[in-house]
Amino acid sequence: MNFSLKTVTRVAAMLALAFVGIIFAGGEASAASSRFCENGNWKISQQGDTLLVRGTHVQFDVDLRTGGVRNWTLTGAPNVGRLVERPTVIFTEKTPLHGATLTRTDRLRNDKGDLVLIRTTNDFSVEVKIQAKDCAQGGVFQMEIARADNQPTRFRHVLGPEAFYYDNPNFRAREGDVVTFSNSAGETQNLTITPRVNFGSDAAAKLVGRDSPQAATRVNQPQCTNSIPKRDGTFARVQHCGGVTEWDVLSGGRMGQVMGEDATEVAPPATFCQADCQAQNQVRGGALILGFPSPVPFEFRLQPRGF
């Protein structure tokens, strides 16, 4: 990598950090409400190549060699917005399959429940950036990838054993309807309701979340082809497994994670961005919340679980 690309990477990272308090919006949800983050505070330690990240509401491990995350867990700590009442693994892994070995920590920022971690290779050819908030719900996590070769990176997400993906029937029941959305600036626009995949659990009636991509495309999984009922009596063909997703993420793109009510709102998708990305289209109460059924009807649960 030449010096100019290295410099651009540094500047982009520094600019992104300036928005750490709101960047989790990503066009999908506003930043986690402060009341959902009460007593949020990360404690960080290291065991070999693993970084142990422990918070009040969230805990997970980071593989320092890949930047991948293991056992992302909601603790169920008391909070007005808690989604579980006991420790529950939501994702067993979130792995960026870039094929490199990360050897350097370029940034580690731990500030009252906000975490930023940047890991790179020695030559800065691959960089993985993790941002996390210790909150019971809201926009709580995102992982970004930057590569000198500008190639996309496959990300693999595997849900915990009690969690599953489903095609939200509340969105299918309103598919095609046009609703009004207002952003944080008071501007309004019409949006057409489209299908929504969420994840949840039979063990926790309040638990709902979604993957939130930016400059990323989900990989269809033909081995998991589902026929999902539509409002007009026909069926949609959805190639999506019940426990695993894979995404092709462009260099500079990211995969976020939104938990709770924000995961079922009707809002514009994240603005396409591959550099100096920041929060866009913040909702702040201006979106229609469609919610989700609990329990989720069997015909909307995506099958099989996957590989």
> Any idea which of 2-16, 181-195, 208-222 has the lowest mean pLDDT?
2-16
Domain count, the chain: 1
User: What percentage of residues in the chain have a pLDDT greater than 70?
Assistant: 84
Identify whether 148 is part of a domain. Answer: yes
Asked if the model's pLDDT at residue 284 lies above 80, the reply is no
Q: Does residue 306 lie in a domain region?
A: no
Structural domain contains residue 290: no
The confidence score (pLDDT) of residue 5 equals: 37
- Please state the rounded mean pLDDT for residues 152-159: 98
**What pLDDT was estimated at residue 268?**
85
| pLDDT digits 0-9 by tens, 110-121 | 998 999 999 999
Domain span including residue 254 = 3-162+196-222+241-283
> 104-144: per-residue pLDDT in tens?
999 999 998 999 999 999 999 999 999 999 999 999 999 99
Residue 184: inside a domain: no
Give, in order, the Cα–Cα distances in Å from 285 to each of 37, 170, 186, 281.
18, 19, 11, 12
Position 78 scores a pLDDT of 97
- 101 within some domain: yes
Classify residue 234: in a domain, yes or no.
no
Closest CA to 13 of 101, 107, 94: 107
Cα–Cα distance measured from residue 168 to residue 165, given in angstroms and rounded to the nearest whole number = 9
Residue 271, pLDDT score: 63
Please give the model's pTM, rounded to 2 decimal places. Answer: 0.86
- pLDDT band at residue 286, thresholds of 50, 70 and 90? confident
- Considering the domain boundaries, does residue 53 fall inside one? yes
